[in-house]
Structure 1
Amino acid sequence: MQREVDWIAEALERDPTKTQTGLAEALGIDKSGVSRMLKGRRRLKFDEAKRAAEYLGVSPAVLERAGFAEPEETYQAEPQAERLTNLYASAAGARGEWFLDLRRPIERRPQAPCFLGADLAFGFYAPDDAMAPRFHRGELVWVNPGRPAAAGQDALLIAKDSPPAETPAYLCVLESMTSYVYRISQYGVGGVREFSAARWRAAHVYGRV
């Protein structure tokens, strides 16, 4: 009998770059919650199913087949109030390394149309020119940590298991990636460097909005 979460388990098996840890971050829950969900001990909510599909790159049609079609009345009743996106403080380190303070936002901005469905999206001001001329000092950078970056895209490399008050990060071009290594470059710094995929994750960076 097909379970409502089998599509998630199948997507995780298909793509080695997608993990239960990454899925937990996309859903905003801990890894044990994902484990319980995959074992059928925790129900998957509709909004969680949408975020899981975005993280896993799964078609909305798969959600409908799994019984997650959004009721029409829910869509019509959705509030039209302006949604806001958090901006966090940032500081520059050496050789293009930045530090983000993710404890509390310094301000909030209206959510841009490209953020639709990206509940985890946030922004910060570039503290130096590590990625100039693509991104300049003081320019707003918007990132969705729930959506992994692909090779060839702008990405924010974020250290895993780091303190929220001083989270290391690199705004970069993701030159290539495997399940073990990220290779990145920065316009303003030069050179190509390698980072362990076990200790870092590459989050999607939005274009200018």
Structure 2
Amino acid sequence: MSEQQKVVRDLVQQMLAETGLTLTELARRAGVSSTTLTRFMNKDVKHTLSMSTLGKLSVASGVSVPMGMALPGAAAAATARPPAETLAIPKRGEMPQDLPVYGTAQGANGEGAFVINMGGQVDRIRRPPGLMANRDAFAIYVEGDSMEPRFEPGETVVVDPNRPVRPGDDVVLLVESPEPGQPPKAYIKRLVRRGAERILVKQYNPPREMEFPTAAVKKIFRVMRVGELLG
């Protein structure tokens, strides 16, 4: 085990100790892959966790990432954001647990489709600092493996109905069900092209593109990025 891996593992152990969560629970609250986190903590792996993953874990646990931690992407993050902003992450207890989760799995059916229960919450998670004034954002739990390795089963993603959507964005689409009386199906995909007649998206597992009639797509929500969640 490298010294870098040891430092990161010790940090994750601190997060577990301070929150009282298991690895799986911490991963779910942070919106990261529980498989990746468990493998890193329990197996002899050659990699460490990225700054993106540690940022999500930090928000979920309230444990700050120490300044100067030399991890993949750390140099770019330091250049993009002043050190004072990087450390300005509120403690876990300071983040209200009021961000609604509307996603509930109904089976992947080979396409990664599930249902968003907009009529009622299925859970609530901690509100990230970047969403303190945003009352429209909500979260969903990813089900199925159609977007691995970008999103894995059990991850939490946050969407904002008010954010503009562009090709290249990860999105959640609400598509009208072909079965009368059934709620729209929700898909988490990567947007390729959005036209007047057809909307083209892609998935990673297995790699394929899917088209939907534009008229059948009731809503498109953009998945928020880590930097947006941290504010």
Task: Sort the TM-score into its range (normalised by shorter chain).
Answer: 0.5 to 0.7
1:93 alignment counterpart: 108
| Aligned residue-pair number | 130
1:175 alignment counterpart: 192
1:106 corresponds to 2:122? yes
- List runs of 5+ in structure 2 lacking aligned partners: 1-93
1:154 corresponds to 2:165? no
Contact 2:108 2:144 (C-alpha < 8 Å) held by counterparts: no
Aligned partner letter, 1:86: P
**Residue deviations 1:58-92 (CA, integer Å, cap 9, x gap):** xxxxxxxxxxxxxxxxxxxxxx9947210124213
- Deviation for aligned residue 1:123: 0.7
More strand by share: 1
- Deviation for aligned residue 1:164: 11
Find the residue that maps to 2:161 and give its secondary structure.
strand
- Deviation for aligned residue 1:116: 5.0
- Deviation for aligned residue 1:128: 1.4
Find the residue that maps to 1:186 and give its secondary structure.
strand
What is the alpha-carbon distance in structure 2 between the residues aligned to residue 173 and residue 110 of structure 1? 26
1:35 alignment counterpart: none
What is the alpha-carbon distance in structure 2 between the residues aligned to residue 89 and residue 160 of structure 1? 16
TM-score computed with the length of structure 1 as normaliser: 0.54
- List runs of 5+ in structure 1 lacking aligned partners: 1-79
* CA distance 1:117–1:182, shift in 2 (3 Å): farther
Which of residues 136, 140, 154 in structure 1 aligns to 2:152? Answer: 136
Which of residues 213, 221, 225 in structure 2 aligns to 1:196? Answer: 213
Find the residue that maps to 1:114 and give its secondary structure.
helix
**Residue deviations 1:163-191 (CA, integer Å, cap 9, x gap):** 99843111000011123321000112321
**Residue deviations 1:132-181 (CA, integer Å, cap 9, x gap):** 10010000011112324211111111125999984311100001112332
Which of residues 191, 202, 206 in structure 2 aligns to 1:185? Answer: 202
Find the residue that maps to 2:205 and give its secondary structure.
coil
Aligned partner letter, 1:110: R
Q: Please say which of residues 119-128 and 154-163 is displaced more in the overlay.
A: 154-163
What is the alpha-carbon distance in structure 2 between the residues aligned to residue 136 and residue 166 of structure 1? 24
Contact 1:88 1:104 (C-alpha < 8 Å) held by counterparts: yes
What is the alpha-carbon distance in structure 2 between the residues aligned to residue 136 and residue 164 of structure 1? 30
**Residue deviations 1:67-123 (CA, integer Å, cap 9, x gap):** xxxxxxxxxxxxx99472101242133122222222211222232133354322111
Question: What is the percent sequence identity of the aligned residues?
Answer: 25
* CA distance 1:160–1:171, shift in 2 (3 Å): same
Contact 1:103 1:165 (C-alpha < 8 Å) held by counterparts: no
Contact 2:95 2:127 (C-alpha < 8 Å) held by counterparts: no
